[in-house]
Amino acid sequence: MMIYNQFLSIKAILSLIIYGFLLIGIPLLGWGIDDLTEFLANPVRVIFFLAVMLMSFVYACLMPPNTLSEGVKDKLVTRQKVMLWLSILLYVIMFSLLPYCDRHNLWQIKAENSLRYVGLVIFTIGVILSFWGPIHLGQQYSFNLTLQEGHTLVTDGPFSYIRHPRYLGLIFWILGVSFIYLSIAGLVITGVMTLLLAWRIYDEENLLQHEFGQQWINYCQQTKRIIPLIY
């Protein structure tokens, strides 16, 4: 048990370093470390900066143990590994490009500063949704599209409202970041990520229908895919 807890601690520390660099380090490098005073001059960027620091810490501590698991080998949808790498690439581009464009006033949305605050609210909602799903799934959650040993169909918690709360959360928080930086490029990235998530949803629902049959069909009749009461 002690070795297991130490392993979890190491995973949490590594997650904090990687996730923190992605969300904090890369944006600061994208903005330019020669002028961090200007970055911190805008209160929305300061709040966002503090929020992602907290988010990185919370995610590292609450990260489900099977996050990197490939689960049951014959249940793994291997082509979705491509989606994961494309997502990482988009995140790196987004976190570096959007601050850069904000500083240099490139491809910016012509809007009042209040839109940044709207983005902060959307981002917060997205973070809550994108964390709630994986935390509720616990050891059944994985970045990889797969099933774990003894996998069951979870239909309570956030999954009682929509079938893919995490994906809706990811769309929200990317859209929120786009508004925080008033970035047209961010809106384009939001659209691309939405298409990638639609592809993942297609494969995920096929996997779950094949695994759970009528139970999955009944669940789909009671819930919407990603937008409550609509779709």
User: DSSP of 150-199, one letter per residue?
Assistant: T-----SGGGGTBS-HHHHHHHHHHHHHHHHTTBHHHHHHHHHHHHHHHH
Do 38 and 103 form a contact (C-beta atoms < 8 A)?
A: yes
Query: 206 is written with which tokens?
Result: 């096929």
Q: What is the mean pLDDT of the chain?
A: 90
Q: Which domains does the chain have, with CATH numbers?
A: 2-222 (1.20.120.1630)
What pairs with residue 224 in β-bridges?
162
Q: Identify the pLDDT of residue 9.
A: 58
Give the residue ranges of the chain where pLDDT is below 70.
1-16
Whole-number Cα distances in Å, 121 to 91, 105, 173, 180, 231: 20, 23, 9, 10, 23
Fill in the DSSP letter of residue 143.
S
Indicate the SS3 state at residue 108: strand
pTM: 0.91
Q: Identify the pLDDT of residue 177.
A: 96
Comparing C-alpha atoms, which of 183, 150, 190, 1 is closest to residue 66?
150
Q: Identify the pLDDT of residue 10.
A: 67
- Alpha carbon dihedral 205, 211, 213, 216, in 10-degree steps, equals -50
Contacting residues for 88 by C-beta, under 8 A, at least 6 apart: none
Cβ-based neighbour number of residue 94 at 10 Å:
26
User: CA 77 to CA 75: how far, in whole Å?
Assistant: 6
pLDDT per residue over 15-62, tens digit each? 667 777 777 888 889 999 888 899 989 999 999 988 888 887 777 777
User: CA 38 to CA 29: how far, in whole Å?
Assistant: 13
Comparing C-alpha atoms, which of 109, 214, 223, 205 is closest to residue 161?
223
Whole-number Cα distances in Å, 83 to 88, 145, 168: 9, 10, 16
Q: Identify the pLDDT of residue 5.
A: 47
The beta strand positions in the chain, using DSSP E, are none
